[in-house]
Structures are given as C-alpha cells and as structure tokens.
Structure 1
Amino acid sequence: MRPNFLIASLALLASSASLASTPDYAVGAQYDTTHVYVAPSDVDAFVRSFTATFGGRSTPQVVVTVTPTSSSTSSQLVQTPVGSVSVFGFRTPVPYPFGLERTGYLVTDVDAAVKAANAAGAATLVAPFDDPIGRDAIVAWPGGVNMQLYWHTKKPVYAALEHVPENRIYLPAESADAFVGAFVRFAHGKVVSDVRDAPGSELGRKGGTYRRIRIASGYGKATVLVTDGHLDWPYGTEVTGYEVSDLDATLARARASGAKVVVDAHAEGDRRAAMLQFPGGHVAEVHSDK
C-alpha cells in the first residue's frame, strides 16, 4: 500500500506544481460583469433603476449576435462605481446554455484561460467563439456554476471600482469543496474565511446555521453559501452582492427609481445587508459595513 500512496502523493504534487505554474489570466474586477437577461420591454427601466441606485452610466444599446449560433439581442454595459452588469434583451429565443451563466470575466487570453480552467476542474460548456468585439467561452465549475470568460480585440481601460462586488454562489455540501478548490486554483485566489456555523438568520431563517466561504482573487470577490436548499425567496436567486458606502441612502434611491426592497436592511455579522429586485425581475444583494 505504501508504494501506491507514494505514487499518488507524487502525482498530486506534480499536478499542484503544474497548476501553480499556470499564468493568472485575470485582468481586474472592474472588467468583470454580472449578466442580466431581461425582456426587451424591461431593458430601459432596468438600466434607469440600476444606474439611479448605484450611479454610473450605460454604453449605447446595440442589437447584435452574442452567441455562436443565430440569435439577436440588445446589449449594453452598465458601469457603476460598485460593479458592472452586461444587460441582454433577447429578440429571439435564448440559445442554450446562454442565460445560465452568471458572470463574465475578462481574461488576457480566452483560449489559454479555458485550458487552465479545464486543468483546474472546470468543463467547457461553450467552446471559444468570435463575437463582434472579441472572443467568448463558457465554463462550468463543479456544482454547476457557469461563468463566461471573454477577451476583447481592443483592450478596454476602466477605472478601478470604489467597492468590489461579490459573486454569490449557492451550493450543496457535496460540491462546495470541489468548486472552491477548482476555482481557487484557476483564479490564483485564496480563501479569506470559511465559517461553518454562520447564523441562518443571514439567509432569512429563524434558526440554524450554514457554511459561508469567502474567496478573493484577481476576478474580485466570491461568497459560497453552502445550504440544504431550504431557502425562502429571494435567497438563492441573487447572483451578485454589491458593497456600498451608505446602505440606507442606496435603498432610498432604489425605491425612488422603481426597484423593490424585498429584504429589509438587517445585521449580518460584520455588515448590514438588504435585497433589491429591479424592474425586469433581477435580484441583487446590497451591503455595507456596520
């Protein structure tokens, strides 16, 4: 048994060394976006409400094909000081598996980044393809977490964010460690905290606990929420958590712009948090330091 153990250990070390030598393809959190799919009739209302809530502005809306097969959608980038969103209003049915990816991460080389993601444990869900301004791909991480990786023909230059948002990922216990291990290897990230008994009140529960894992990398922040799936709406439907300087003022702007506060402001450990639903149905978490 000992020779087999030695062989396995050497293989693990070789694999770890190979991953450690893989370049970090991240460009920066200000280039990463949450993907928001809304009906064409709701696009303008969503953009107005989102920018009124968080500040910033939208690029001009264009109608393009952003998939490798035939489709048509409006597309625009909404940039705010606390994070950006890519807004899509499809005029045609959305081809599978588009609409299931949560975020788009800008990388320095999309083909190489996909190979690195594969080596770390992700599957290629949509192979790299050309789009009007670059190349895209979608990878699926353990637990069914889909993310877009993209590259621009002309590298954009965006100002750093005032606050870096967090990718909020709900997973069952059986796949959480596999996801965290794979993503951290790919992203050259680190686990900032791993709280195995976070209070269930953070998820709207009256009791109990859940596991909360926070990750930091060149792609920004991610929070993995490990639950049994017994969640009241809207928990689990939000994709991103936005950090703001003044939570109460942000919620007031949201209400005035047509968004709904679907979870009121409340304490969560070292932060105060709430949940918003914007026109078109998109749900986002918002938080600030206490």
Structure 2
Amino acid sequence: MSIDMIKLVRSSAIAAAFLIGIAPLASFADAGPHDATAASAIKGRVAVGPQYDTTHVYVASADVDTFVQSFLATFGGKASQKAVFTVTPTLSKTASQYVQTPVGMLSVFGFETPVPYPFGNERTGYLVTDIDDAVKAARAAGADVIVEPFDDPIGKDAIIQWPGGLVMQLYWHTKAPNYAPLQSVPDNRVYVSRYEANNFVRRWLRFSHGKVVSDNARADAGVIGKPGETFRQIRIDSNFGRMVVFVTDGKLPFPFGKETTGYGVDDLAATLQRAQAAGAKVLVPPYASASYKTAMVEFPGGYIAEIHDGR
C-alpha cells in the first residue's frame, strides 16, 4: 500500500468518525446584544480551510460503491477503502468512504442500521482548530447545539443548527491532517426564507469571520428553476469555503433545494458527458444566466448536485 493510500485510509476513518432578506448589506455589521456577546466570545478564527470541508452524502448501503465510482469518474480523485464504523454517539453502524476530488471532498455513509437523530440532516462537516472553542463561538454567534461534543477514536464532533434551519457538523482531529488546496472550492448552497436571511447571514459572518462577496436582490431565478423571475442571492467567502445563500419563498421546482453543494468545473458539457457515462442523470440541462451556466445532476444512490462552469 502506498504512502498516499495509507494517508487516505487514515483520512477515511477520520471522516467517518466525524460524519457528519431585504435589509441592506450594511445591516450585517450592526451588532445587537447577542452579536456583541459573539464579538467578545470569539477569540480567533476556528476554521482550518476549505480543503478539509466535506459534503455529507447518505445513500443506501448497497449504493455506496456505485455512487463513489460514478462521482470519481465525473470529477476525478480517489477514495478510501470502504469500511464499517460507528460514527454517532449512540449505537449505529455505517459503511463509509472518504472521497477526495479536485472540486471538493465527500464523506459517504451507507447506514446498515437505522440512522439516529439528527444524523442525516447535517449537510457538511467543517474541520475546526478546537471543538470546544468552535462550539462556544457558534453558540455566541447564535447557533443551537443539537448534538453536544462527543468523542470518537480520533477526535471530537458536534452538530449545530443556524437560524433559518441550516444544520452542519463541526469536527476536530487529535492529529491534524494536511491536504493540498482544492483546484475549485465548492459552493455550500443554502436556501433560507426572507424572514431569516439577514439573521442567518449576520450570525454566519460572526462565526466564520467571512465576508459578503455579493448581495444581488434581483438575481436571475432561472438558476433555481424559475426563468423570467428574480430572487435575492448572497455569496459569502470565508476560511470555511464558499457559501451561496438563496433567499426564496420556498416555491421551488424539483430538484432545487434538494442539493447541498455546487461544483465548479472548467468544461460543463464535458463534465456532464462523463457523469452520464458513469450512470448519473442530468435532471436539469444547462441553463445560461448572465454570468455562468448551471445544471443539476443526480448520481446513483440519489445524491443531487449542482454543477456550473467557472471556479
């Protein structure tokens, strides 16, 4: 076994163990009482880097191999050996693989037992410098802790939820990994209502130490399956990676809202050809907005992803 594969197998155990708006832009900087607490409580940036963020993919145990092969055939990269782990603080068992690609990482889970609450609801796993500091910072910034920190063989994990409903995992390694930067940092695609959009963005900025890259109140809604309409789209960058916030009324055509991650590629047409050859379905053919082309794809096992041109 090569050194790279040994590292990847070790990484698989790590990933498996951890699993899982109308106000103006300036309003995000306005600190209320809770925000003042957040500002004083956060001692530093807890994010490690986007190459350590993993999208959590839950498929049937029988579909793990087919899904992983299809995803790798589409984007390139490599996967760990599949193994069976307990990745929750209560009794459970799941087949798991860690998938490294140039456009983002995946933690893939095929549970062989019922999935205990709330696992399966978290979209991403974010590596942090210290789990206790990260949870305190998240709480101070307005997140709820729905699974308090728990031990696994090689670190600690917690699951948090933000206003608007976004659920994510925070994890910490006893021995820190070392991965090269991604060729293309994926988008964490977040759908929220207009009632919680500003609240969510403000809280996330406090926690992530990120910045709003753009806030377009009249973005082309064709990118979410509603051509001829507009909606508010907010782009945020931080050391946790990229986030795109879609502020909608929730009246979305399938499959929009089902996807968790968007992947940027150099050649959208060629990527879609590879995906289809590897058993994936193009659910929504490429739509050209003023700035980019986007398509929606379903991989074997049911994982739905957005793919767009450009990085």
Amino acid at match of 1:129: F
1:148-227 → structure 2 map (5 Å cutoff): 148-227=169-248
Shift of 1:269: 2.7
Q: How far apart, in 1, do the equivalents of 2:227 and 2:288 lie? A: 14
**CA drift at 1:152:** 1.1
Matched, 1:243 2:267: no
1:135 corresponds, among 146, 152, 156, to 156
Q: What is aligned with 1:31?
A: 52
Q: Distance in 2 between matches of 1:225 and 1:101?
A: 18
TM-score (normalised: structure 1):
0.94
> CA separation of 1:268/1:17 partners in 2, compared to 1, >3 Å: closer, same or farther?
same
Q: 1:144 Cα shift?
A: 1.0
- Structure 1 unpaired stretches of 5+: 1-7
The number of aligned residues is 282
- Structure 2 equivalent of residue 18 of structure 1: 40
* Helix, strand or coil at the partner of 1:174: coil
> What value does the CA root-mean-square deviation take over the aligned residues?
1.7
Give the whole-Å Cα distance in 2 for the aligned partners of 1:11 and 1:113: 20
Q: Which runs of 5+ in 2 are unaligned?
A: 1-29
Query: 2: distance between equivalents of 1:184 and 1:74?
Result: 35
The 4+ residue runs of structure 1 with deviation greater than 2 A are: 8-17
Following superposition, the deviation at residue 207 of structure 1 comes to 2.4
Aligned-residue offset at 1:288? 1.1
Letter of the aligned partner of 2:134 in structure 1?
A
Higher RCO by CA contacts (8 Å cutoff, separation 6 or greater) = 2
Residue type of the alignment partner of 2:241: G
User: Matches of 1:206 and 1:265 in 2, distance apart?
Assistant: 13
Query: Are the structure 2 counterparts of residues 60 and 16 from structure 1 closer, same or farther at C-alpha, using a change threshold of 3 Å?
Result: closer
Q: Is 2:294 aligned against 1:273?
A: yes
Measured against aligned partners, the alpha-carbon deviations of 1:23-52 in whole angstroms (never above 9, x if no partner) come to 101111000000000000100000000000
Pairwise CA distance, 1:270: 1.4
**Does the Cα contact within 8 Å between 1:270 and 1:289 map onto a contact in 2?**
no
| Deviation string, structure 1 residues 239-284 (Cα, Å, up to 9, x no partner) | 0000111111111110010011111112123111111100000000
The equivalent position to 2:275 in structure 1, one of 254, 267, 275, is 254
Whole-Å Cα distance in 2 between the matches of residues 268 and 165 of structure 1? Answer: 19
Letter in 1 for 2:259: E
Percent identity between matched residues is 59
Three-state SS of the structure 1 residue aligned to 2:198 is: helix
